[in-house]
Structure 1
C-alpha cells in the first residue's frame, strides 16, 4: 500500500510567511505608538489653548495708581461685530466707572460702517462725559478714521493723529447695480409681483422710478445732515469754513489739522503721558466670550491640520 507524501512547506515560503506575520505585528505596534503620541499631542495643545484663553483671568489683580483707560475701535462698525455699539459702550462704561481712571483714550482704526452704531457710541460718550466731566476723552487715530469712525471721534475732547493718518469721509452712501439692459439683451422677462406701490424700491432688475430715487436721496440727505450736526457739535469753532469739509472727501493727518478735524500729532503713549497725565494704559476693550474664543481657536487649528494633511497627501 502506497504511503501519501507528507505536506510540508518549502523553507522559503515559511520564511516569507514569518516575515509577513512579524511585519504585521510591528506595524500594529507602531500604529498604537503613533496613535498615543497624537492623542497626547492634541491633549497638550488643547491645554495650551485653554490656558491662553483663560490667561486674562490670571491677570485680574489690577495695577495700582492712576491709569489711562483705553478702548479700541477697530474694524467695520456693525451690530454683530467686535466694533458694535453694544461692545464699545460696555467698554466705555467700565472705563468711566473705574476709580483709577484719569482719562479715556479712544484708539481708532476703522473705515466706518453703520451710522446707527456710530451714533449710539457718539451719544454714549457724551452721556458719560456729562456724568463725569472731569475725565477727558481723547481720540488717537492710527491708519484710518473715516465715515462712522470719525462720527465717534467727534465726540472726544481732542483728536490726535499721525501725519499719514487718513481722516474724514463725512458723507453717506448707498450703492447697487442695474441689470435692466442685461435682461433685455439676454431675452429674460422680469416677473415681479408686489402689494404696495413702492415695495420693490430700487429693484436692480427694474427701471429706476424718479420718485423713488428722489425719496432715497432725501433719506441720504437726512442722515448726512445728522452726521454734519454731530461733527459740528463735537468740534465746534475748531472746524474751518470749507465747503469741501462735508463732501465725503478724506484728508491726511497733517491736512486734518489745518481743517480743524484734528488737534495735534501724537500716539497713544504720548497722549497718556502728556495729555491725560497717566502713563499707565489699561485696556478696557471688552473681550469675546471665552468659549467663543476657544471654539474659534480650535476650529482654526483643526482646519489648518486638515489643510496640511491634504497637502501631504498631494505630495505623496
Structure 2
C-alpha cells in the first residue's frame, strides 16, 4: 500500500547531524549547510499529506551564517505551508546546533541531552617564538592596515583583538535576538544566566525554558497525532562516493585522504568538548 494515500497522519523527519559548515566534509559525521540540505527540506514541506515536520538534531554547532540560512529556510517554508515544526535534540544541540533547534515551534530533548553554549568563539595559535627559534624571518607586504589581522606569525596587536571582539559581540547579539524571537516568554532566567555560553542537561534546559519538554520524537509525535502516526524520512542521504571512501579509505588521491584525516581530528575535538 502506498504510504502517501494512507489516511494515517504522517510526520516528515529531517535529521540534522554533524558540524555546521559551508563546505561538505569527509568526516565521520558529515557537515550541515543549506546547499546540501535545501532539497530535502523543501521536499519534506511540499510532500502531500504531511502533518508536521520533526527535526532530529545532533550538532555541536559551527558556522553562524549556515545556522541562520538553514533556520530561515525552515521558518519560511513553515509559514508558507502553515506547517508545525517540532525539534528533538538527541545527544547535543550546542551553539549553532541550538540555533537550528529554535527554528522549531516546540523543542524536546532527553534528560541527559546537552543543550546551550549560546555564545561565540574564535581560536588560533601564535607561532612568533617558534619561527624565531628555527631562524625563520616573516615578511609581509600588504595594502590596508587591517590586512594582516591576527597573523599567527606576527606579535598580537591590541587593536586586532578589539576588532575581533567587536565582531564576536555582534554575532552573539544576533544569536540572542534569534532565541528571544523564537522562545519569547518561555525563557526563564536573566540574560546573564541564559546567554553566557553555558551548557545544561535537557532537564535543566527545560527549567530554563530553552526547551519545551522531555521526550523522543516517536513518543511525542504519537502523543500528539495518535498511535497510528507514520514517519517518512526526508534526510539527505550520504553520497555513494562518501560511503565508499569512508568504508575503504583507499583508491583516492593523497590530498583527499589527508583532508579526511584532518576533518576527522577536528571533528573529534569539537565533539569531545561536550563529552561525546
TM-score w.r.t. the length of structure 2 is: 0.80
* Change in CA separation of 1:240 and 1:299 when aligned onto 2, cut-off 3 Å: closer
Aligned to 1:77: 20
Can you list the C-alpha shifts for 1:23-77, whole angstroms capped at 9, x where unaligned? xxxxxxxxxxxxxxxxxxxxxxxxxxxxxxxxxxxx9x54542211000000111
**Match status 1:67 vs 2:10:** yes
Can you list the C-alpha shifts for 1:217-262, whole angstroms capped at 9, x where unaligned? 1111111111111111111111113212111111000000011001
2:63 to 114, 135, 140: 114
- Alignment gaps of 5+ in structure 2: 25-30, 252-276
2:41 match: secondary structure: helix
Contact 1:272 1:281 in 2 (8 A): no
Number of residue pairs matched by the alignment:
241
Q: Distance in 2 between matches of 1:222 and 1:273?
A: 41
Tell me which protein shows more helix as a share of its residues.
Answer: 1
TM-score w.r.t. the length of structure 1 is: 0.71
Alpha-carbon offset, residue 126 of structure 1: 1.5
Can you list the C-alpha shifts for 1:120-169, whole angstroms capped at 9, x where unaligned? 01111211121122x21000011001111110111211111100000001
Aligned to 2:197: 248
- Alignment gaps of 5+ in structure 1: 1-58, 305-316
Alpha-carbon offset, residue 210 of structure 1: 1.6
Aligned to 1:307: none
Contact 2:183 2:210 in 1 (8 A): yes
Contact 2:10 2:51 in 1 (8 A): yes
Q: Distance in 2 between matches of 1:302 and 1:230?
A: 40
Can you list the C-alpha shifts for 1:171-194, whole angstroms capped at 9, x where unaligned? 111111112233445554322222
2:119 match: secondary structure: coil
Can you list the C-alpha shifts for 1:76-119, whole angstroms capped at 9, x where unaligned? 11123352112333222111111210100000011111111110
Range with greater deviation from structure 2 (82-91 or 168-177): 82-91
Contact 1:103 1:276 in 2 (8 A): no
Aligned to 1:297: 244
Question: Which is greater in Rg?
Answer: 1
**Match status 1:89 vs 2:38:** yes
* Change in CA separation of 1:302 and 1:91 when aligned onto 2, cut-off 3 Å: closer
Alpha-carbon offset, residue 272 of structure 1: 2.0
Alpha-carbon offset, residue 271 of structure 1: 2.2
Q: Distance in 2 between matches of 1:151 and 1:169?
A: 10
Greater RCO between the two (CA within 8 Å, min separation 6)? 2
* Change in CA separation of 1:301 and 1:202 when aligned onto 2, cut-off 3 Å: closer
Aligned to 2:146: 198
Alpha-carbon offset, residue 289 of structure 1: 4.4
